[in-house]
Amino acid sequence: MLAIDLTGKRALVAGVADDAGYGFAIAKALAEAGASVCVGTWPPALNIFETLLRRGKLDESRKLQAGRTLEFEKIYPLDASWDTLADVPEEIRTNKRYNERGDFSIQGLADAIQRDFGAQSLDIVVHSLANGPEVKKPLLETSRAGYLAAIGVSAYSLTSMIARLVPVLREGASAISLTYLASERAVPGYGGGMSSAKAALESDTRLLAYEAGRKHGIRVNTISAGPLASRAASAIGLIERMVKHYAEHSPLAEELKAGEVANVAAFLCSPLATGITGATVYVDKGFHAMGMTEAVSVPTPG
């Protein structure tokens, strides 16, 4: 039997704050395959996430096969807007949601992993990070600050993470991110520079695959996932309509499940995919392949 086996591997999933998004689903799939999982969580959401875990509100979502449970080896504070703590403005560093969390920068995350587990202790990096403060604005109405914020958090943070995590990454490590078809097609309503950020993320994936592959033996890929009605995606403002549109016009006329994306992520991070790097892998029920679409009647589950 050919199986995905990540036994003995350690993964970092950056961008988990609840059980509704792709990040959590990927963490669960990696754990199902045998990996130990650490997560990075945005500091303002960290208290709520820890409370949900402590009170058992996520227990059902954390169930794995064979009676096992998804356990997070470590939960790190991470604000991917900042490379180092010195870059963080004083008003953020002293904010009550941040000031008790220590070094929440990308460099702080890398340092914490090295303190906790030592050098060359990480095999998998999952970048499930995106933020566009002006995502509801059309591009023509997007400010320079909003545009650059979207690029910084949603794209450049992958480059920064890989560069700063190199000391803790093992030979043969794998990094993956999540992108969206708006990188190459116009999606009205997906604004604020987010489409540009996704295009940058895909371009960076190809160059990072070359540079990190040649220099450190690291594979870098990205998954172009269809829309998911997660809590984070609700910020877009039209996510339910996007999900319905995909289900009506895709070759496989059904809604995409988070677990389907997570399974591909686990494969890409596994020894089964050692020949794949620099790729954008579409997991969207085939929507990306369509040039002309036809609405269909989507069966109602049950």
Q: Is residue 291 part of a domain?
A: no
Give the range of the structural domain holding residue 29, as residue numbers without chain letter.
10-282
Neighbour count for residue 6 (Cβ, 10 Å): 22
Residue 10 has pLDDT above 60, yes or no: yes
Whole-number Å distance between alpha carbons of 276 and 269:
10
Active-site option among 22, 76, 147, 180: 180
Q: Is 261 helix (H, G, I), strand (E, B) or coil?
A: helix
**Is residue 205 within 8 Å of 280, Cβ to Cβ?**
yes
Q: What is the mean pLDDT of residues 264-268?
A: 98
**Is residue 198 within 8 Å of 244, Cβ to Cβ?**
no
Q: What is residue 300's predicted lDDT score, i.e. its pLDDT?
A: 56
Q: Is residue 270 part of a domain?
A: yes
Active-site option among 190, 210, 246, 282: 190
Residue type at 167? P
User: Pick the residue with more confidence: 302 or 138?
Assistant: 138
Residue 29 has pLDDT above 80, yes or no: yes
Q: Is 189 helix (H, G, I), strand (E, B) or coil?
A: coil
Q: Residues of the chain with pLDDT > 70: what percent?
A: 95
Our measurement of the distance from residue 233's CA atom to the centroid of its chain's CA atoms, rounded to an integer in Å, reads 12
Q: Is 28 helix (H, G, I), strand (E, B) or coil?
A: helix
Catalytic site residue 180? yes
Q: What is the mean pLDDT of residues 161-168?
A: 98
Provide Rg for the chain, Cα atoms.
Answer: 19
Q: Is residue 290 part of a domain?
A: no
The candidate with the shortest Cα–Cα distance to 137, out of 78, 194, 220, is 194
Quickly state the pLDDT bin for 292 (edges 50, 70, 90): confident
* Domains contained in the chain, number: 1
Lowest mean pLDDT among 103-112, 189-198, 209-218, 230-239: 230-239
Query: Which residues on neighbouring strands pair with residue 224, listed in sequence order?
Result: 179, 282
Q: What is residue 242's predicted lDDT score, i.e. its pLDDT?
A: 85
- State the SS3 of 106-164: HHHHHHHHHHHHCCCCEEEEEECCCCCCCCCCCHHHCCHHHHHHHHHHHHHHHHHHHHH
Catalytic site residue 190? yes
Whole-number Å distance between alpha carbons of 128 and 140:
27
Q: What is residue 46's predicted lDDT score, i.e. its pLDDT?
A: 96
Q: Is residue 289 part of a domain?
A: no
> CA 224, 225, 231, 232: dihedral to nearest 10 degrees?
0
Q: What is the mean pLDDT of residues 178-192?
A: 94
How crowded is the C-beta side of 180, counted as CA atoms within 13 Å?
25
Q: Is residue 14 part of a domain?
A: yes
> Helix 144-151 and helix 194-216: axis angle, to 10°?
30
Q: Is residue 4 part of a domain?
A: no
184: exposed, middle or buried (Cβ count in 10 Å: 0-12, 13-18, 19+): middle
Q: What is the mean pLDDT of residues 254-261?
A: 95
Instruction: Dump pLDDT digits (tens) for 56-93.
Output: 999 999 999 989 999 999 999 999 999 999 999 999 99
Q: Is residue 296 part of a domain?
A: no
Question: What's the whole-model pTM score?
Answer: 0.93
Quickly state the pLDDT bin for 14 (edges 50, 70, 90): very high
Instruction: Dump pLDDT digits (tens) for 47-60.
Output: 999 999 999 999 99
Q: What is residue 238's predicted lDDT score, i.e. its pLDDT?
A: 76
| CATH code at position 234 | 3.40.50.720
Quickly state the pLDDT bin for 229 (edges 50, 70, 90): confident
**Average confidence score pLDDT of the chain:** 94
Our measurement of the distance from residue 28's CA atom to the centroid of its chain's CA atoms, rounded to an integer in Å, reads 13
Q: Is residue 126 part of a domain?
A: yes
Q: What is residue 239's predicted lDDT score, i.e. its pLDDT?
A: 77
